[in-house]
Every structure is written in C-alpha cells, then in structure tokens.
C-alpha cells in the first residue's frame, strides 16, 4: 500500500485517537508468513503459519520441510515444542522476554504483530514531533528504566515503527512496519522487521506476509508429545 500523505502539525491527543481508531477490528487472523531469523549463531528462513484469536490466543507453527516448532500463547502462558529438537517449554513470558530483550505480555505481543502500539497511549500524557514524515509519540515523562517511542504513519495512522530502549541494561527493541496491505477493509502489516539488541547479543526477525484471511474458523490444536525434554530458562 503506497503512502504519500505529508504529516501536518497535529496534537498528540488527535494522533492517538486516529491511531486507536485504526486498530485491528476482526476477530481472527489466519496468516501465512515467511520468516527470516538471525541471531549471529543461527541464520535461517522458515515458513510460519500464524493464527490469532484476538485477545485470547496466538498460535504459531514454523516449518522447513518438516515442522520445526509449534507455539501456543495465551494471556497467562507460553507453550512451545520442537519436533526437530525434541524439547518443549511451558511457562510464562520469560521465554519471549529472553528472545526480545524486553518485558512483554500477551496484548503487547498481539499489538506488535498487528501494527499497533505495544503500550496504551491513553494511559500517560504524550508529546508528538514530526520526524521523517511520521508522527512520533513519546510519553512526556519517560519511565525510569526505559524510553518508548511510537512513529505513526500520517496516511493510515498505523505504525511505521515502535521502539523500547533500556539504556541502563543496554537493551533495545525496534519494530519496523515498512508496508501494509488492505484486505477486507482492514490494514494488516505485509512486512514486520524486529530488531532486538542486548549487550553483546542481537536477534533479527523479519516477517513477510504471503496470505491472510480474517474471521474464519481456526484449528489451533496443540499438544506436547510425550518423551520430549523440558527446557528451563
């Protein structure tokens, strides 16, 4: 989807209102993605099936000739297993926090995948500046531990980028949305670039959308096979 609207002066409250009104408004997502993963040690491309039952479940399956992993994420738990490595994880969001280098909960992860702000922009007073033709929102008073920034696109008010920066821990999460696609009157990210940095480590994950359907019946079957080794973080 092309974007050529020039960002004009606008108050933070109005930008937030427009961003919230552009929030994803379907009940389910059934998407096929290509994912490129690189953390300096592992570099690979896989196919990912992503199913979302909004506010309830995020279900993921990664394949490369065979199933590499399956994951089921709910507001209270993260469950994951790998037929390839014959191991599994059951627990809280510490696994995702380790991967992304920042605290994250279910709604924040869901918003990240939908092109929406990970934080509730109405909770704190925001200030707005125009940078690179995006409305960049940030809290007037940044949190003690980290700084957060949201770059809102002036043509459709979804995000161009969001960042969480923790200078004290030398951690940074940047999520870029280079493009969106319009399907059934709903804007959906056609590309997401996740860059997570922690001290001497980094994780880059690029998602490229192949197809997506909304409001369909989803099969989210998930059961960890017997005999797999449990991963403890």
Burial 28-53 (b: 16+ CB within 10 A, else e): bbbbebebebeeeeeeeebebbbbbe
What confidence tens digit (pLDDT) does each residue in 32-91 have?
A: 999 999 999 989 999 999 999 999 999 999 999 898 999 999 999 999 999 989 999 999
pLDDT at 145: 62
Q: Which of 75-89, 92-106, 117-131, 185-199 has the lowest mean pLDDT?
A: 92-106
Residue 180 lies in a domain: yes
> What are the backbone dihedrals phi and psi of residue 108, each rounded to the nearest 5 degrees, phi first?
-65, -40
The four Cα atoms 139, 24, 189, 109 give a dihedral, to 10 degrees, of 60
Q: Are 15 and 150 in contact, with CB atoms under 8 Å apart?
A: no
pLDDT at 3: 60
What confidence tens digit (pLDDT) does each residue in 123-153 have?
A: 888 999 999 999 999 888 776 667 889 999 9
Q: pTM for this structure?
A: 0.92
What's the rounded Cα separation, in Å, for the pair 212 and 52? 11
Burial (Cβ within 10 Å: 0-12, 13-18, ≥19) of residue 180 = buried
Residue 25 lies in a domain: yes
Statement: residue 103 has pLDDT above 90: no
Q: Compute the average pLDDT of residues 163-181.
A: 90
Confidence of residue 98 (pLDDT cuts 50, 70, 90): confident
Residue 53 lies in a domain: yes
Burial (Cβ within 10 Å: 0-12, 13-18, ≥19) of residue 185 = exposed
pLDDT at 156: 94
pLDDT at 4: 75
Statement: residue 112 has pLDDT above 60: yes
- For the record, the structure tokens of 98 come out as 């380790």
The mean pLDDT value of the chain amounts to: 92
pLDDT at 1: 52
Closest CA to 172 of 101, 109, 108, 95: 101
**E-only strand ranges, the chain:** 28-38, 43-53, 57-64, 66-73, 78-82, 87-91, 126-131, 134-139, 147-152, 159-166, 171-183, 186-198, 201-214, 229-230
Residue 32 lies in a domain: yes
Residue 218 lies in a domain: no
Counted domains in the chain: 1
What's the rounded Cα separation, in Å, for the pair 67 and 46? 10
Residues across the chain: 233
- Write the CATH number for 34: 2.50.20.10
Residue 233 lies in a domain: no
Q: Are 177 and 160 in contact, with CB atoms under 8 Å apart?
A: yes
Residue 226 lies in a domain: no
Domain boundaries, position 142: 12-213
Residue 18 lies in a domain: yes
pLDDT at 97: 82
Statement: residue 2 has pLDDT above 60: no
What confidence tens digit (pLDDT) does each residue in 196-207 have?
A: 998 888 999 999
């Amino acid at each position: 989807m092309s974007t050529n609207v020039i960002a004009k002066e606008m108050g933070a409250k109005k930008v937030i209102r427009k961003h919230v009104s552009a929030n994803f408004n379907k009940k389910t997502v059934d998407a096929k993605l290509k994912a490129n993963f690189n953390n300096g040690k592992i570099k690979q491309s896989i196919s990912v099936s992503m199913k979302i039952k909004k506010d309830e479940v995020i279900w993921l399956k990664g394949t490369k000739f065979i199933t590499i992993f399956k994951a089921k994420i709910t507001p209270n738990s993260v469950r994951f297993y790998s037929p390839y490595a014959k191991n599994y994880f059951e627990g809280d969001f510490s696994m995702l926090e380790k991967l992304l280098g920042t605290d994250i909960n279910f709604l924040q992860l869901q918003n990240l995948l939908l092109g929406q702000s990970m934080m509730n922009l109405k909770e704190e007073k925001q200030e707005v500046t125009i940078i690179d033709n995006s409305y960049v929102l940030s809290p007037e008073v940044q949190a003690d531990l980290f700084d957060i920034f949201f770059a809102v696109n002036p043509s459709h008010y979804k995000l161009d980028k969001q960042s969480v920066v923790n200078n004290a821990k030398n951690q940074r999460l940047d999520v870029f949305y280079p493009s969106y696609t319009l399907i059934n009157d709903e804007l959906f990210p056609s590309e997401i670039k996740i860059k997570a940095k922690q001290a001497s480590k980094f994780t880059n994950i690029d998602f490229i959308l192949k197809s997506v359907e909304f409001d369909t019946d989803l099969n989210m079957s998930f059961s960890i096979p017997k005999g797999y080794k449990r991963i403890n973080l």
